[in-house]
Amino acid sequence: MLPNRVFVGFYHIVSAQAPAHVKHLLECKSPDEFEKDLLYFKEHCYVASHEELLAHQSEKKSLPRRTAVLTFDDGYRECYEVVRPLLLKYRMPCTFFVCANMVDNKSLMFRNKVSLCIDATDKQSAMERHQSIEKFNERFGLRLRGRDSLREWLLGLTYRDTKRVGAACEVLGVDTEAYLRGKRPYMTRDEIVQLWRDGFTIGAHTCNHPELWLLPWLEAVREIVESCATVVDITGQEAVPFAIPFNGRTLSRDKLGDLWARNKHISLIFDTNNMKKERSFLVNRTDCDQRYGLTAGGSNIPQVMRRAYALEPLRMTKRLLERWVKRSQL
């Protein structure tokens, strides 16, 4: 099914144990599990570089059947310490998307703060947690009743709730500055430069990792353009790819296309809608962090691929039906 479609996978972090700042946000594969993924890609796919994908998208240059592209989001330090050695071992190309304001651990992403807050509540005694929930209810006008409702509320906070995230850290005693100094969750500028010297591609992932669809368009443009300019400054690349945080399916493709055309330092834009085919400047990716189908002996990438390939015909049918309904109503 869809045999000529390029499979573009994205990861966030590879670690034997998920650190507190991502533990409650996403799934995480171990180094051994990730290595099994790489072995599968090496044995069953042609793994293309960003340059090859760009030529395929912009110049219609052909790629072999079963081509895959690997990417990592957010710029966590494990990309350098864990992922880099494995990629070099198997000579695999990869693109790393970094958030401009997190480079050198200058600031902590709001979602990472949320994960630290949830981790703090998990470590509290029942009495301490009850007292924290009372403080949250009083401070924010909530009616939380227990740990699950507090967790749900925290996970529902967005970039626009940055002040609330900070207040939540205050209530729970989460010292984000100390965490940045002690844990160094993100890569440094020097580490990013070394990845580029190793032959990997460095891309941008906004400045602050917001939900772009929640921002005024001009603010979203600033997040995109400035983060790409920062990566150009770090690596000296003429143009860099950009990956939309979370998901950008509701962002206007016309506006994105105009932005891309006017900013020559942006090579391609990436979204996260599995195998959905869009305009030449935009490539969709599939989540490879997910652990379903994992077994002790091998990779779950075959299952991830099959699910991604299977979804697109259903989505195409849905889109055709929606268009037919709209036309019939005219």
Rounded to whole angstroms, how far apart are CA atoms 160 and 110?
A: 10
The 10s digit of each residue's pLDDT in 193-232 is 999 999 999 999 999 999 999 999 999 999 999 999 999 9
> Using an 8 Å Cβ cutoff, are 8 and 286 in contact?
yes
| Confidence (pLDDT) at 205 | 99
Place of tokens 């006017």: 262
* 71 and 207 housed in the same domain: yes
Write out the two tokens for 262.
Answer: 């006017």
**Average pLDDT by consecutive 10-residue portion of the chain (330 residues)?**
77 98 97 98 97 96 96 99 99 99 99 99 96 97 95 98 98 98 99 99 99 98 99 97 98 98 98 94 98 89 92 71 71
| Confidence (pLDDT) at 319 | 65
| Confidence (pLDDT) at 3 | 52
Length of the chain in terms of residues written: 330
Q: Within a domain: residue 1?
A: no
* 265 and 324 housed in the same domain: yes
* 83 and 20 housed in the same domain: yes
The 10s digit of each residue's pLDDT in 297-308 is 899 999 999 999
Residue 83's alpha-carbon distances to 40, 86, 151, 239, in angstroms, are 16, 5, 30, 24
Count of domains forming the chain: 2
pTM listed for this prediction: 0.94
Range of the domain at 116: 110-182
Q: Within a domain: residue 119?
A: yes
Alpha helices by DSSP H, listed for 236-291, are 253-262
